């Protein structure tokens, strides 16, 4: 284990008690000033604001499609608006909470304060809200929001790049992968800002997918490779840390192929059933390897510990998304059109990204608020509601008229995010329950 890994906090092996049992909550009321006590407080709080807003907006879009009662008008394609904010909006704000909490420990450098990060985080938050408003009102406003969000993301990663440059620890691979992914995210967002005024919605959609795979998924994979084996070995007896670098490189190659496929499809090459066959077989093989890795990392052993199980089950969705993508290609050989494309995509976004977001943010929020690192009954119920939302969204792809089921999936997603977000926002604006600073 590297020097930086020894600083990571293990998961407890206690049972499934509520994270509030045995701890008296502070009497002080909620105050915005507490958000500035630690980077994760401010970053996660603002991420929740964008997450809940974006989910609520998409639910309204689905309701309007189902009933036609709202009469919504669009200055920007709602599908592109949705893809951009769900893929590149709130997730980088959650990244900020991790990058400037765990990142400095990985790199053995001094962490910036929440006040130092505030301009970049507020810019992203305001930018994505303007993006949603402008999508209905005027494209100019939407582009202004996108530019503001991009400037905020640039400032955030410039600060992270400086931390990486200052570090002298020998093991900086995971942190470097995260930095490279951040650069891909910046280029994708900048490209989208140029594509929309030119009316290139096809290029805009490719850039959103490019940012999703090359930025968000790469970051998730790097963090999963570093943290899931460590958490498992800390909480489960007889399970050792097993995370050789070749596993990380293999995962990154799988993601790279999907990233390249985005641009190959946009360019119109390669095409035809031969390409679908090759891609389908590759995705089936990649998904099988990821599912094997989930078991090798202790999936079965993790199921007795809720918070750990959430991490492992979330990782399983990555393998399932590749399998679904492969099946989609093979089933579409006759018609030349993949059958389950959006199903595979949402298995990855809602299933993999959403589940790990719920698990990791909950863990950090519990640990840094002085609470026990467990998933209580509420978090556990929310996790399974999220799983149901993912399954419904995949099933909707198979239906001749998917609008109602898609809307139900969106409703579950928004409900989970609203309840979860409201609870954690309450924590971020109050002092730690154990009286310690931070």
The pLDDT of 174-199, averaged and rounded, is 96
The pLDDT of 375-392, averaged and rounded, is 97
Mean pLDDT of all residues belonging to the chain: 90
Q: Comparing 372 with 282, which gets the higher pLDDT?
A: 282
> What are all long-range contacts of 271-277, with beta carbons under 8 Å and residues at least 24 apart?
272/336, 273/333, 273/336, 276/329, 276/330, 276/332, 276/333, 276/336, 276/338, 277/329, 277/330, 277/333
- Calculate the dihedral angle through the C-alpha atoms of 388, 236, 293, 392, rounding to the nearest 10 degrees: 0
pLDDT for the residue numbered 14: 35
Distance of alpha carbon 266 from alpha carbon 274, whole angstroms:
17
**How confident is the model over 226-248, as pLDDT tens digits?**
999 888 887 877 677 788 899 99
Q: Comparing 394 with 25, which gets the higher pLDDT?
A: 394
Domains in the chain: boundaries: 31-428
1-10, 18-27, 35-44, 366-375: lowest mean pLDDT where?
1-10
pLDDT for the residue numbered 337: 85
pLDDT for the residue numbered 140: 96
Q: Comparing 101 with 340, which gets the higher pLDDT?
A: 101
pLDDT for the residue numbered 110: 93
The pLDDT of 66-70, averaged and rounded, is 89
**How confident is the model over 128-161, as pLDDT tens digits?**
999 999 999 999 999 999 999 999 999 999 999 9
Q: Comparing 434 with 228, which gets the higher pLDDT?
A: 228
pLDDT for the residue numbered 267: 92
Superfamily grouping for domain 31-428: Cytochrome c oxidase-like, subunit I domain (1.20.210.10)
The pLDDT of 209-216, averaged and rounded, is 97
State the residue for tokens 């799983």: 387
- With 80 as the cut, is the pLDDT of residue 322 above it? yes
């Amino acid at each position: 284990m590297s020097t930086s890994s020894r600083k990571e906090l293990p998961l407890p092996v206690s049972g499934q008690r509520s994270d509030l049992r045995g701890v008296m909550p502070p009497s002080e009321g909620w105050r915005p000033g507490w958000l500035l006590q630690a980077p994760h407080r401010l970053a996660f709080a603002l991420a929740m604001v964008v997450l809940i807003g974006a989910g609520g907006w998409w639910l309204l879009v689905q309701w309007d499609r189902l009933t036609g009662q709202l009469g919504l008008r669009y200055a920007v394609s709602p599908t592109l608006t949705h893809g951009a904010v769900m893929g590149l909006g709130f997730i980088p704000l959650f990244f900020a909470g991790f990058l400037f909490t765990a990142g400095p420990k990985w790199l053995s450098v001094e962490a910036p304060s929440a006040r130092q990060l505030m301009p970049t985080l507020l810019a992203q938050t305001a930018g994505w809200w303007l993006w949603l408003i402008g999508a209905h009102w005027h494209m100019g406003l939407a582009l202004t929001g996108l530019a503001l969000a991009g400037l905020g993301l640039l400032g955030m990663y410039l600060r992270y790049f400086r931390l990486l440059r200052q570090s002298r620890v020998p093991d900086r691979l995971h942190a470097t992968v995260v930095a490279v992914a951040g650069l891909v995210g910046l280029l994708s967002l900048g490209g989208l800002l140029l594509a929309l005024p030119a009316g290139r919605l096809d290029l805009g959609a490719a850039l959103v997918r490019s940012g999703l795979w090359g930025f968000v998924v790469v970051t998730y994979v790097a963090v999963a490779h570093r943290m899931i084996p460590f958490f498992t070995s800390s909480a489960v007896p007889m399970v050792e840390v097993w995370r050789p670098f070749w596993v990380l490189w293999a995962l990154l190659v799988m993601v790279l192929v999907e990233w390249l496929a985005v641009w190959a499809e946009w360019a119109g090459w390669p095409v035809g059933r031969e390409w679908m066959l090759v891609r389908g077989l590759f995705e089936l093989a990649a998904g099988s390897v990821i599912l094997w890795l989930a078991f090798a990392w202790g999936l079965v052993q993790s199921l007795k510990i809720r918070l750990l199980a959430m991490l492992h089950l979330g990782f399983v969705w990555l393998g399932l998304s590749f399998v679904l993508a492969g099946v989609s290609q093979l089933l579409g050989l006759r018609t030349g059109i993949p059958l389950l494309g959006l199903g595979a995509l949402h298995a990855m976004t809602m299933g993999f990204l959403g589940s790990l977001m719920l698990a990791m943010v909950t863990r950090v929020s519990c640990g840094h608020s002085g609470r026990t690192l467990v998933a209580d009954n509420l978090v556990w119920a929310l996790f399974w509601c999220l799983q149901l939302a993912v399954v419904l969204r995949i099933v909707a792809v198979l239906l001749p008229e998917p609008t109602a089921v898609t809307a139900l999936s969106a409703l579950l997603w928004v409900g989970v995010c609203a309840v979860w977000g409201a609870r954690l926002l309450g924590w971020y604006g109050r002092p730690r329950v154990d009286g310690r600073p931070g």
